[in-house]
A and B are shown apart, each in its own frame.
Chain A
């Protein structure tokens, strides 16, 4: 559980690491007791004393690792495609009011459709290959990035623009040298939300479509008949760790790249 060590908590220095680990240990203890005493059906909620070894086992299991890799890869590819579409899109929608007014109705119409609702349709059209889940995940991951980019441009400080223009900066250069860097932290926040969504959509597709290789499919198979509940729980925990690591990584990236942005929020 080394990943928890890096997570700063608010308690004073010496108790920092133990506090988060105690919380985790507490959960495991309750989980273990609940499972052993039959408070919940033991068959399904396997105790941590079984799930933890199962996790270790899975991490040495090639079939599982392949599935995990397939899921993570599909998520990352989808996220990259979504960034490539949504950031330029957001810049255009955010800086040209006419285009924005014209396109927003279509955007408002498309955005609320949950991407998981498109799973059955996408499977019919493109089959169970990885392109299906990537396309679905791109659809889901587009919106937070698009909207964050767009709203960040609304917040663009007019004085920054005037300063740049007074120094002879052209309109396109204002977009790349002023608008883009000042929007960047919000774009990254969007990317963080989008990663969560992309992962969820990829896993959903795998859960639903038996033929799609990946973590979702692995867990669904382990789940059939309730025979391998330890593996189901272990796989779920590992998926959580992947999500946690990605989120923490993006947060750290944010702190590193956009240190200038943090104190501005507190001031004034």
Chain B
């Protein structure tokens, strides 16, 4: 049993542009333990997407290594799933909800696929939406489908790229609680990127604060809020208020971090 699920060591990526090179991330080092939910928070444009893309093997980083349960990442790892911010573009419009969830399960038999997708949809509260098309659902429901698709895949690591940034506030709270519930039930390891300080504290077991581009880890804060969290009581607890102030302070003091939302 591997304790460390994700090991990122001295990760750096440089984009070659016409007007010279641009370092998106540099010297990033951190780990995510099995069963942990780690939030990465940083100013917009600090290279969070580059980080996620390097971990998921969609791009090959210029420097450093990424290891998933001890295996170095080279190309897209087989047991990793991603939930993107833009659910409307990440779900396939030509497939029904059921088929979208089944999409990554090609290796399984038809019966297994159906069963797994059904389970995952039930876990996100969409057991009756399987035959609908994504556009027939609201934004929040579409993002639930994307989460169900990732869960059905049973990934060793679930990457979430600003997953709740495009839904309204009420839906956002619902989805945050949904995420906390399913990761408890299914013991999923999650790395979630966000620019929302409150969200990072509310969801995370640990919060990694990044600096402005090129992103480096400025601080890693343990969140001692316990397993059971509640949108109203947790968010008004002293510990929460203190932590969010700390994260905000770190982001403000991070060099040239003027674009914090």
Pick the residue among B94, B104, B135 that contacts A168 (CB under 8 A): B104
Q: Cβ of B81 and Cβ of A166 under 8 Å apart? A: yes
Asked whether A259 and B133 contact (CB < 8 A) given A166-B76, A167-B153, the answer is: yes
Within A166-182, the residues touching B (CB, 8 Å) are 166-169, 177-178, 181-182
Q: How many residues of A contact B (CB 8 A)?
A: 23
Pick the residue among B58, B80, B94, B153 that contacts A261 (CB under 8 A): B94
Q: Cβ of A159 and Cβ of B89 under 8 Å apart? A: yes
* B119 in contact (CB, < 8 A): no
A164 to B105 CA separation, bound complex (whole angstroms): 11
A244 to chain B, nearest CB (A): 28
Q: Cβ of B135 and Cβ of A166 under 8 Å apart? A: no
Q: How many residues of B contact A (CB 8 A)?
A: 23
Which B residues touch A164, using CB under 8 A? 103
Q: Cβ of A267 and Cβ of B84 under 8 Å apart? A: no
Q: Cβ of B135 and Cβ of A260 under 8 Å apart? A: yes
Q: Cβ of B76 and Cβ of A160 under 8 Å apart? A: no
Within B65-123, the residues touching A (CB, 8 Å) are 76-78, 80-82, 84, 86, 89-90, 92-95, 103-104
Q: Cβ of A168 and Cβ of B93 under 8 Å apart? A: no
* A184 in contact (CB, < 8 A): yes
A157 to B134 CA separation, bound complex (whole angstroms): 16
Asked whether A159 and B93 contact (CB < 8 A) given A165-B58, A260-B135, A267-B135, the answer is: no
Query: In this complex, what residue of A is CB-closest to B78?
Result: A168
Which A residues touch B81, using CB under 8 A? 166-167
A260 to B80 CA separation, bound complex (whole angstroms): 28
Query: In this complex, what residue of B is CB-closest to A161?
Result: B58
Pick the residue among A165, A166, A169, A264 that contacts B93 (CB under 8 A): A264
**A contacts, CB < 8 Å to B:** 157, 159-160, 162-169, 177-178, 181-182, 184, 258-261, 263-264, 267
Q: Cβ of B78 and Cβ of A160 under 8 Å apart? A: no
Which A residues touch B82, using CB under 8 A? 162-163, 166-167
Q: Cβ of B90 and Cβ of A163 under 8 Å apart? A: yes
Which A residues touch B153, using CB under 8 A? 167
Q: Cβ of A166 and Cβ of B94 under 8 Å apart? A: no
Q: Cβ of A165 and Cβ of B92 under 8 Å apart? A: no
* B213 in contact (CB, < 8 A): no
* B56 in contact (CB, < 8 A): yes
A4 to B153 CA separation, bound complex (whole angstroms): 49
Cβ contacts B124-164/A at 8 Å (1 or 0 each): 00000000011100000000000000000100000100000
Query: In this complex, what residue of B is CB-closest to A184?
Result: B94
Pick the residue among A162, A167, A264 that contacts B135 (CB under 8 A): A264
A184 to B95 CA separation, bound complex (whole angstroms): 13
Known: A167-B153, A168-B76, A264-B135. 11 other contacts (CB 8 A): A159-B86, A160-B90, A162-B82, A168-B78, A168-B104, A169-B104, A181-B92, A181-B95, A184-B94, A260-B94, A261-B93
Cβ contacts B194-214/A at 8 Å (1 or 0 each): 000000000000000000000
Asked whether A159 and B84 contact (CB < 8 A) given A260-B135, A263-B135, the answer is: yes
Which B residues touch A160, using CB under 8 A? 89-90, 92
